[in-house]
Amino acid sequence: MTAVGCLFERYSEMAKNLVIVESPAKMKTIKKFLGSSYTVDASMGHVRDLPKSTMGVDVDNGYEPKYITIRGKGDLIAALKKEASKADKIYLATDPDREGEAISWHLKAALGLDDPARKVYRITFNEITKEAVTNAIKHPRSIDMNLVDAQQGRRVIDRIVGYSISPLLWEKIKRGLSAGRVQSVALRMVCDRDAEIAAFIPQEYHTVDATIKHGTKTVKAQYYGENGRKKALKTAAEAQAIVDAVKDQDIFVAEVKDTDRVKNAPWPFTTSTLQQEASRSLNLSTQQTMRIAQKLYEDGRITYLRTDSIRVSDAAVAAAKSFIAAEYGDGYVSHRSAAGKSGSNVQDAHEAIRPTEITETPAKIKDKLANDEFRLYQLIWKRFVASRMNSAVYAQTTVRLTRDSHIFTAAGSKLKFDGFLKVYRQDKDDEELKQDLSFLKEGMTIRFAEVKDNQHFTEPPAHYTEATLVRALEEDGIGRPSTYAPTIGTLLGRSYVAKEKKNLFATELGMAVNELMVGSFPEIVDTGFTARMEERLDNIAEGKENWKDLVSEFYPDLEQSVQKARETLGRIKVADEVTDVICDKCGRNMVIKYGPHGKFLACPGFPECRNTKPLLEKAGVRCPKCGGEIIKRRTKKGRLFYACENKDCDFISWQKPGAKGKKAAEASAE
Apex 481 CA angle, 480 and 487, nearest 5: 75
Note whether 308 and 481 are within 8 A (CB): yes
Residue 123 β-bridge partners: none
Q: How many of the other CB atoms lie within 10 Å of CB of 632?
A: 15
Q: Is 667 helix (H, G, I), strand (E, B) or coil?
A: coil
Apex 463 CA angle, 287 and 198, nearest 5: 145
Note whether 531 and 523 are within 8 A (CB): no
Residue 398 β-bridge partners: 257, 411
Note whether 146 and 454 are within 8 A (CB): no
Q: Where are the beta strands (DSSP E) in 332-405?
A: 392-403
- Rounded distance between C-alpha atoms, residue 574 and residue 556, angstroms: 30
Instruction: Give the residue numbers marked as catalytic.
Output: 304
- Which helix (H) or strand (E) covers residue 491, if one does? helix 484-493
- Rounded distance between C-alpha atoms, residue 164 and residue 551, angstroms: 14
Half-sphere exposure of 112 (CA within 13 A, CB side): 9
Among residues 49, 116, 115, 108, the alpha carbon closest in space to that of 80 is found at 108
Half-sphere exposure of 321 (CA within 13 A, CB side): 12
Note whether 626 and 649 are within 8 A (CB): yes
DSSP collapsed to 3 states, 104-152: HHHHHHHCCCCCCCCEEEECCCCCCCHHHHHHHHHCCECCCHHHHHHHH
Q: How far is CA 169 from CA 126, 516, 568, in A?
A: 41, 8, 13
Apex 361 CA angle, 355 and 364, nearest 5: 130
